[in-house]
């Protein structure tokens, strides 16, 4: 029996939320860290042990890091270590998180490094990063240091090199983001201007062992790009950073930064004296597979795909999802599509720019492709797994026939809102925004499409 429109919408949202739950940061850490037989075991996703640390040889344990998943990761590590080890190894820590993620975390201080909904570095973030670097540098070869790294850490861990102000870095980052620079390009520049990125945390750490647990928000999981690689060697160069500035016409934004990058050839950065283990414990594929598993449980036959490379414009990705939805509705085979990725949005001039994020822009482009009547028997959800989509209080948006009909009734023009990147104000009066609050995780975006088969337009 075909599912009704309301059921399709409920199912699409439920499947999307299952994808977010699959990358619950506390659970991912608990699965990766286990104390057993006087050893601390590290396991890869799937449960296979890959290494262990003899706790008898460990003095203190420190915890540092940053990211949108920081609060959940901290709690997961506290759970995994247990009260006895927390006391005997004098566990203490400092993690930079967004303001709305701050909560009690025992001996680990969660520091408000930026306001909620503002994914930019702040002076509070600089102060917190300095505290992290001091803590890492205070350790000894008998100590163990955990670095909890997740998406958003690039903005949450600002530490400008000498001679570069935070205002200079912020101006360059804003220009590159608004020009459509991708995450790899952004981090190529940021690493050359930072004391903690590009392996800076590992170089500062004086512990005998540094274990970085990483929740990846970068497609393909390149460790040197996730959070700008604070625990891995920097493979980028100043010359490459200058090329990024040229590609996006950014040289005039901050002559100080250009002078710094052009002053000498790339510096040879010394390695670290501690043994470093980097372990990716969750990523976009984890979320996509979790969502697909829930779709099967609900009786759907899902097709799934998670991007491993950077995606194109959000508008094009949204239209492609709309076309795939129409095919699913018309033909036998999969009746659910679960995808993951991270498209880009090129922002218009500030004087006409509205409010929104890449998921809302993607959903609006899909809606435009499907209206006015082709959305019958289709529901589409696109949302950021971190609960933040651009500078908004929404994770993304949902599209179905009810939303389309309400938009027509209110006379809303999707083309106009798309052109101005104002999807938020399109979806808000339609009760079509997804609001989750902080999810304490971050693995890019998840999109879900469900369809009732063989329905004509």
pLDDT in tens, 16-54: 999 999 999 999 999 999 999 999 999 999 888 999 999
Please compute the mean of the pLDDT values over residues 437-452 and round it to a whole number: 95
Span 168-191, pLDDT tens digits = 999 998 899 888 888 788 888 989
Please enumerate in sequence order all residues whose Cβ is within 8 A of that of 302, keeping only pairs 6 or more positions apart, or say none: 291, 292, 295, 296, 334, 336, 337, 338
- Cβ-based neighbour number of residue 220 at 10 Å: 15
Span 117-159, pLDDT tens digits = 788 899 999 999 999 999 999 999 999 999 999 999 999 999 9
What is the spatial distance between Cα 9 and Cα 341, in angstroms, rounded to a whole number?
A: 21
- Cβ-based neighbour number of residue 36 at 10 Å: 9
Residue of 418, 217, 421, 412 whose CA lies nearest to 319: 418
Span 367-419, pLDDT tens digits = 999 988 889 999 999 999 999 999 999 999 999 999 999 999 999 999 999 99
What is the spatial distance between Cα 371 and Cα 386, in angstroms, rounded to a whole number?
A: 29
Confidence of residue 112 (pLDDT cuts 50, 70, 90): very high
User: What's the residue count for the chain?
Assistant: 457
Please check the confidence at residue 268 and state whether its pLDDT lies above 90.
no
Confidence of residue 456 (pLDDT cuts 50, 70, 90): very low
Span 332-371, pLDDT tens digits = 999 999 999 999 888 888 899 999 999 999 999 999 999 8
Map residue 35 onto helix, strand or coil.
strand
The confidence score (pLDDT) of residue 272 equals: 62
Question: Is cis: bond before 103, omega within 30 of 0?
Answer: no
Q: What mean pLDDT value characterizes the chain?
A: 93
Please check the confidence at residue 269 and state whether its pLDDT lies above 80.
no
Query: Directed axis angle between helix 238-247 and helix 255-263, to 10°?
Result: 140
Query: Between residues 203 and 453, which one has the greater pLDDT?
Result: 203
Per DSSP, the chain holds a count of helices (H) and strands (E) of 16, 15
Confidence of residue 1 (pLDDT cuts 50, 70, 90): very low
Q: Are 284 and 443 in contact (CB under 8 A)?
A: yes
Confidence of residue 3 (pLDDT cuts 50, 70, 90): confident
| Intra-chain end-to-end CA distance of the chain, in Å | 18
What residues form DSSP beta bridges with 40?
35, 53
What residues form DSSP beta bridges with 336?
302, 450
Q: What percent of the chain has pLDDT over 70?
A: 96
The confidence score (pLDDT) of residue 457 equals: 43
Please check the confidence at residue 233 and state whether its pLDDT lies above 70.
yes
Return the biggest CA–CA distance within the chain.
Answer: 69
Please check the confidence at residue 15 and state whether its pLDDT lies above 70.
yes
The confidence score (pLDDT) of residue 194 equals: 94
Please compute the mean of the pLDDT values over residues 7-19 and round it to a whole number: 97
The confidence score (pLDDT) of residue 265 equals: 54
Please check the confidence at residue 323 and state whether its pLDDT lies above 90.
yes
What is the spatial distance between Cα 160 and Cα 255, in angstroms, rounded to a whole number?
A: 15
Q: Are 433 and 424 in contact (CB under 8 A)?
A: yes
The confidence score (pLDDT) of residue 454 equals: 56
The confidence score (pLDDT) of residue 270 equals: 52
């Amino acid at each position: 029996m075909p599912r009704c429109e309301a059921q399709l919408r409920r199912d699409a949202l439920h499947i999307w939320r299952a994808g977010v739950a699959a990358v619950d940061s506390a659970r991912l850490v608990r699965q990766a860290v286990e104390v057993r037989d006087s050893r601390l075991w590290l396991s890869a996703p799937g449960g296979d042990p890959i290494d262990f640390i003899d706790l008898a040889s460990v003095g203190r344990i420190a915890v540092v890091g940053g990211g949108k998943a920081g609060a959940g990761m901290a709690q997961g590590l506290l759970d995994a270590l247990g009260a006895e080890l927390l006391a005997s190894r004098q566990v203490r820590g400092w993690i930079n998180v967004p303001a709305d993620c701050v909560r009690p975390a025992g001996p680990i201080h969660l520091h408000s490094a930026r306001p909620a909904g503002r994914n930019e570095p702040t002076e509070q973030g600089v102060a917190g990063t300095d505290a992290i670097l001091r803590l890492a540098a205070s350790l000894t070869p008998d100590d163990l240091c955990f670095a909890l790294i997740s998406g958003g850490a690039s903005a949450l861990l600002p530490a400008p090199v000498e001679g570069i102000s935070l205002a200079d870095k912020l101006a360059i980052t804003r220009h590159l983001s608004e020009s459509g620079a991708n995450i790899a390009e952004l981090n190529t520049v940021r690493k050359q201007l930072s004391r903690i990125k590009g392996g800076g945390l590992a170089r500062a750490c004086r512990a005998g062992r540094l274990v970085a647990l990483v929740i990846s928000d970068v497609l393909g999981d390149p460790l040197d790009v996730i959070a700008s690689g604070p625990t891995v060697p920097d493979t980028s160069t100043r010359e490459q950073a200058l090329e990024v500035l040229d590609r996006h016409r950014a040289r005039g934004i901050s002559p100080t930064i250009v002078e710094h990058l052009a002053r000498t050839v790339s510096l040879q950065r010394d390695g670290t004296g501690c043994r470093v283990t980097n372990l990716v414990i969750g990523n976009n594929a984890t979320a996509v597979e979790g969502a697909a598993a829930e779709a099967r449980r609900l009786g759907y036959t899902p097709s799934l795909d998670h991007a491993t490379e950077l995606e194109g414009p959000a508008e094009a990705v949204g239209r492609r999802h709309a076309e795939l939805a129409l095919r699913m509705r018309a033909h036998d085979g999969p009746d659910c599509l679960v995808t993951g990725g991270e498209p880009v949005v090129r922002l218009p001039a500030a004087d006409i720019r509205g409010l929104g994020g890449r998921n809302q822009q993607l959903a609006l482009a899909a809606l435009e492709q499907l209206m006015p009547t082709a959305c019958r028997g289709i529901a589409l959800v696109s949302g950021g797994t971190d609960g933040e989509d651009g500078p908004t209080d929404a994770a993304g948006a949902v599209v179905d026939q009810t939303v389309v009909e309400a938009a027509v009734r209110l006379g809303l023009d999707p083309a106009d809102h798309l052109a101005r990147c104002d999807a938020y104000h399109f979806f808000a009066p339609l009760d079509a925004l997804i609001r989750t609050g902080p999810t304490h995780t971050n693995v890019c975006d998840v999109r879900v499409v469900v369809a009732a088969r063989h329905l004509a337009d």
